[in-house]
Chains A and B, each alone.
Chain A
Amino acid sequence: MSYNAYDMKLRKQKNSIDLLRELIKTNLKLRYNDSLLGVLWVMMKPLLNFLVLFFVFSAFRGGVDKENYAASLLIGLIVYTFIQEGITFGMNSLLSMQGIILKVNFPRNLAVLSAVLVSMINFFINLFIILLLTLFVNFVPNPLGVLYFFLIMLVILVIIYSASLILSILVIRIRDLENIVPIFFSITLLGICNLSTI
């Protein structure tokens, strides 16, 4: 086996899966390390967000006409949190792992991918909790709708991953993105909530 040292394509990466798994595990463990509620924050964040937005939009706007506003807001919020977290963490992944990147050669997209997959795992935790809640309200999901939902989530995952790959490189040159991206997300959040009340 002979290869150009920098040419990644020819490298044997037989342990890529193992490395990805370790990176994801580390990420998951560290994100809420040293906080009292720990992993509870995964669902606390969209839930608190939900409470605030629900209160604001149903009380101050004089009620919402739309049917099932609470349910669609909650579902919308966890999808939104998935996109927002995925892109934010994905964008910062290369910068936060620069110590490793400059010392060891490994497929660098794994760094971005692991950050995105961590957000996906958080998303599924939230989805699971919502499904548990629906058990109490006798909700029977439409099987075709569920299929459709997962198809859309797959598309969203691909979009998040692609955006993260681009942004993670751009942010090295343009550090402003660290501030711009969160602002972008807060604006879109309000916009989406407002639109969905109509």
Chain B
Amino acid sequence: MDKPIIEVKNLDKNFVIPREKRDTLKSYVINPFRKIPKETFRALNDVSFSINAGEFVGLIGRNGSGKSTLLQLIAGIYAPTSGSVTVRGSIVPFLQLGVGFNDNLSGRENVFLNGAILGMSRKYLEKKYEEIVDFAEIEDFMDLQLKNYSSGMRVRLALAIAVQAKADIYLLDEVLSVGDESFRQKSLKKMQEMLTNGATVMYVSHGLESIEQICSRVIYLEDGKLAYDGNVTEGLSRYRFSLLNKATSNNESRFGSEKKSEEKPLMADVKTEKIEIESIMIDEREDGYEVESNKDFLFKVNVKILEDIDEDFWLGAMFSSVDIPTSDVYGFRYDNLEKKIQPKAGDRYSFEIKSPFPFNPGSYVCKFKIGSHVQVKRAAHLKDIDYYRKVHTEEQGYLLAKRSFIINCYGEDRRYYSLITSKSSISVDKK
């Protein structure tokens, strides 16, 4: 086969979003010809590429850059606005695991329903049924209604069905990164086994590490445009660079405008380099930070004290989305009050913070800072924001050290937006 298996030519996809909602008869009757102001959102803008049979292509880009839309177009779910998508082979899209799963059906019934939706025949499913049940490790629960399953069981069942699908092209959207570690290894192995038979894969993930491991090529989308297509290492480094760039530039504009409006900056820049951050490790990794959504992660920072510190200090990390860096979404903070620890020059400390990562998959900026209080007075309530600012500025609290970096979150979307159930905990070690 010489011709590429997927050919995308000058693909445009626009979504027309009306400013007002008009889906009732009243609005049609009252004034049927009134034009509703509409906004056109260009989800994909002149994207062209072609993929040959047997390639394993990673698709990267920030949230909203058009990755999922591209997969949906290739799967034939949307019609292109202009341009064309040509496919030479059969496709199985896994844009979501367990499509069509119904809570009121038993596990067994769901196998046949989901399998049929994915294009498998009943005969084939009957033949593979034992294998699916074995793979999902839920023999005893197959006659139970799906609503009684744990989320882990659901995912295992969904994946067990998914790996049975036979096609020339697989479209995977963040599906390899679910389940517990041992199960993930198992499904990864199964996938690879499936893929060695010359299958073509397009894989979307925020888990850059897994893309590095398994992909042979990356396509990098930025705001609906093709930003890079080719070598994995090059593509990933460009992506990481742009993430960092965007985060810092947004940061500057944010603080820049604040500086103009206020006489004093909220927080002075690093005045004295009393502390050197030697390394920051997240889950035992020193760079290319990745965490799984909804899981606890271990934040470890090693610092070297350069000068004696005789005042109280605090350290903390703030996380914000790369796309909306002006809103801090989560953070933790540790206060060393009343000189609980008194670091001397030459000391080495390591702080270990165990904390949940309560976000959806995506890229986040982490700003880690260590700051001092000459005199610690803290506002009792955050309501008292003016007082809080005053305390911080008048006290001449200053930064001892800071570092910003990007952290990627992969895994499933958060299903429950409940309060964080596990709290962060911190331990301090002197070495």
A residues neighboring B (CB under 8 Å): 1-8, 11-12, 14-15, 18-19, 21-23, 25-26, 29-30, 33-34, 99-106, 172-176, 180
| Contact residue among A1, A19, A176 (Cβ-Cβ distance under 8 Å from B24) | A176
A99 to B116, CA, bound (A): 15
A180 to B88, CA, bound (A): 45
A96 to B318, CA, bound (A): 41
| Binding-face segment, B45-53, B104-112, B340-348 | B104-112
Contact A26:B113 (CB < 8 A) given known A104-B118, A174-B24: yes
Q: A residues within 8 A CB of B87?
A: 2-5
A34 to B74, Cβ gap below 8 A?
no
Q: A residues within 8 A CB of B102?
A: 26, 30
**Which chain B residue lies CB-closest to A176?**
B25
A8 to B105, CA, bound (A): 30
Q: How far is the CB of A75 from chain B (nearest CB, A)?
A: 33
**Which chain B residue lies CB-closest to A11?**
B76
Contact A4:B84 (CB < 8 A) given known A11-B76, A105-B76: yes
B104 to A4, Cβ gap below 8 A?
no
Q: How far is the CB of B396 from chain A (nearest CB, A)?
A: 55
A100 to B72, Cβ gap below 8 A?
no
A100 to B23, Cβ gap below 8 A?
no
B80 to A26, Cβ gap below 8 A?
no
> Is B326 an interface residue, CB under 8 A from the partner?
no
A148 to B124, CA, bound (A): 41
| Contact residue among B23, B26, B89, B119 (Cβ-Cβ distance under 8 Å from A1) | B89
Q: A4-B85, A5-B73, A99-B100 are in contact. List 5 more A-B contacts (CB 8 A).
A: A3-B88, A5-B76, A100-B100, A105-B77, A106-B117
Q: A residues within 8 A CB of B112?
A: 22
Q: How far is the CB of A109 from chain B (nearest CB, A)?
A: 15
A106 to B92, CA, bound (A): 11
Q: How far is the CB of B16 from chain A (nearest CB, A)?
A: 13
| Contact residue among A3, A6, A25, A104 (Cβ-Cβ distance under 8 Å from B79) | A6
A180 to B79, CA, bound (A): 31
| Contact residue among A15, A29, A103, A175 (Cβ-Cβ distance under 8 Å from B116) | A15
B116 to A18, Cβ gap below 8 A?
yes
Q: How far is the CB of B309 from chain A (nearest CB, A)?
A: 55
